[in-house]
Amino acid sequence: METNGQANGLKSKKKDNGDGKDNLWSAILEEVQNQGNTKLPSNKNVLVLGDNETGKTTLVAKLQGVEDPKKGSALEYAYIDVRDEYRDDHTRLSVWVLDGDPGHTNLLKFALSEETFPHTLVILTVAMTTPWGVLDQLQSWASVLGDHIDKLDLTPEQRLQSKKQQVQKWQRYTEPGDELEPTASSPMKRSSRNLSDELDDDDEDNPLPEAVLTTNLGLDIVVVATKTDYMTTLEKEHDYRDEHFDFMQQWIRRFCLQYGAALFYTSAKEDKNCDLLYKYLTHRIYGLPFRTPALIVEKDAVLMEAEVTAEDEQAFLQRQLAALQAGTPAPRADSPLRTTQRTTAQVR
């Protein structure tokens, strides 16, 4: 026979087991519910900077899927519809386009404020129609952006955290396409929709490569070289050759390394890389999938995030000078970019 104490003990044990199962099911249901309620954030922004005639409005129209772009003035506002097909979710990505006139830089305060700073990605545009001005334009707009950020009323902790996130994103970068083998070391291999939420202090002791992120603005930056269809005209009418484009690219890439920026070569006219840029933006901003590795073989359709050492500047100029003085075509040295491309092709 059971004593009262034994009976009470059995009842208590059964009750505990029941509570355990209830708690387990409650935890599972709560997790499922939280996952189901995960929505694409609606507070994300893209700020587009660049000189006039660099195709800013046309580029944004391509990202929107609009065929007939309407150019505004001063500070334009638009939005891009973003859809997560997997979760059947959608949102609007706000886009601000600043006029290339330096007199309008005071309007930046409406597009990039203390509130929007943590949620903003910046696109810097340059056009292949004026290759001689590319580097000066990039440096000029990066300076404008840096000066504006310095004036924002951000706490030292906010500035430190934003810069730290940029460092960690660089440290954890791996070539897209390996999502089937997730590891804890790379946000590119995670299924998280917001990469910045997962960053921690694990990589503090892992230094950045030389010349990388030496100017850290605390923002995601993408450099977009537009109108690459004009490169054919440069070849035919201005005698541009591969080494000229390689030389130009190595300077742009050096700038991108300095600011931790991605690099896209696009042509709205030929619809080249525009869709790829859209996918990259939704990946970087919302954590949606992006499985395209860096592309360097086609000089007018570059997608760059990796470092390649280019020919020394003075050596390149010295070769050109010697050829001019001799009145003969300059010898075509083997470009490091071309060497890398051939090696990649052989491996594949």
Give 196-212 pLDDT, tens digit per residue.
444 455 556 678 888 99
pLDDT digits (tens, 9 = 90+) for 120-165: 999 999 999 999 999 999 999 999 999 999 999 999 999 999 999 9
Q: For residue 149, tell me if it sits in a domain.
A: yes
Establish if 345 belongs to a structural domain: no
The CA-based angle 167-164-255, given to 5 degrees, is 40
54 inside domain: yes
> Burial, 347: exposed, middle or buried (Cβ in 10 Å; 0-12, 13-18, 19+)?
exposed
As a whole number, mean pLDDT of residues 56-62 equals: 95
Q: How far apart are CA 104 and CA 4, in angstroms?
A: 85
Measure CA 235 to chain center: 29
Rounded to an integer, what distance in angstroms lies between the CA atom of residue 138 and that of residue 108? 17
> Does residue 343 lie within any of the structural domains?
no
Give the percent of the chain with pLDDT over 70.
70
Q: Which domain holds residue 231?
A: 45-310
Amino acid 174: pLDDT: 80
Q: Does 247 fall in a domain?
A: yes
Query: Domain for residue 5, yes or no?
Result: no
Domain count, the chain: 1
H or E stretch covering 310: none
Q: Is the pTM of this model over 0.75?
A: no
In this structure, is residue 127 part of a structural domain? Answer: yes
Instruction: Determine, yes or no, domain membership for 317.
Output: no
**Is residue 60 scored above 60 in pLDDT?**
yes
- Which CATH number fits the domain that encloses residue 225? 3.40.50.300
